[in-house]
Amino acid sequence: MGRARDPNRDKAFEIYKQNNGNITNRKIGDMLGVPEKTISVWKLRDKWSECSTSKDECSTTKRKRGAQKGNKNSKGGSIGNQNALKHGLFAKYLPQGVHEIYEQLADKQPIDILWENIQLTYANLLHAQRILYVQDVDDTTTMLIASTAKGGESYEVHTAWDKQGKALAAIARIQSELRNMIKTYDELTRSSLATEEQRLRIEILKSKLPDNEPENVHDDGFIKALEGIVEETWREEK
């Protein structure tokens, strides 16, 4: 005899419909006292996104699988079935830890993922500048690179010029990547699908630029503005 269906499963779907899908799995779970991962599984198996947008009556109750002989449904799967197959393959072949992270990211929009990567890239840029800092022209580094059984040793000397050149090249690559991501994010916020919060992020960046350059918004200004936002975020998380 199968396990009874959890009544919270249908309640969770009703909450999802009432909010037109604009609610996170975590929030639904908090409202019902159900783990976020469980909500994610229900959402995937019951195809909430398809049910909430379908004009036909849609139910989240379980149905018998498989088509009877002669049924046209047996000729091929629908797009929904293909999506279920794709997610099933993820569950089958991805390591458990990776699949759990994948499920947690299912509700994230590309623009939000891009914003998090902007913050992460800039944090790495600041961290790299601390590590690659060259104090002065006499700042050299001597490294032991090899030694022999007879006591012989080989050293490699990195002069201040060598270290500064490599540091500038590395920082330039990160800055270029950061500029491209900020430009892409700015373009995405102009889409009708972007939320007010997502647009506000870029407006905050622009508001931190100098007042005497309203018409010439350069990427360097965005980077300076990001510094303030990232620092504020770090202070809030501490």
The pair of structure tokens assigned to 34 is 């159900």
Q: 9: which residues sit within 8 A by CB, 6+ positions away?
A: 42, 46, 60
The pair of structure tokens assigned to 226 is 């990001």
**How many angstroms separate the Cα of 161 from the Cα of each of 133, 140, 157?**
12, 9, 11
Among 229, 227, 207, 226, residue whose Cα is nearest residue 217: 207
pLDDT of residue 79: 47
pTM value? Answer: 0.43
pLDDT of residue 40: 83
b/e per residue 15-48 (b: at least 16 CB within 10 A): bbeeeeeebebeebbeebebebebbbebbbebbb
Centre a 10 Å sphere on the Cβ of residue 75 and count the other Cβ atoms it contains. 7
pLDDT of residue 141: 82
* Average pLDDT of adjacent 10-residue blocks, the chain of 238 residues: 76 89 87 87 81 54 50 48 54 77 77 87 87 84 77 81 87 88 84 74 63 43 51 49
pLDDT of residue 90: 67
Centre a 10 Å sphere on the Cβ of residue 188 and count the other Cβ atoms it contains. 18
Amino acid in the structure at residue 105: L
Place of tokens 């330039």: 172
Amino acid in the structure at residue 22: N
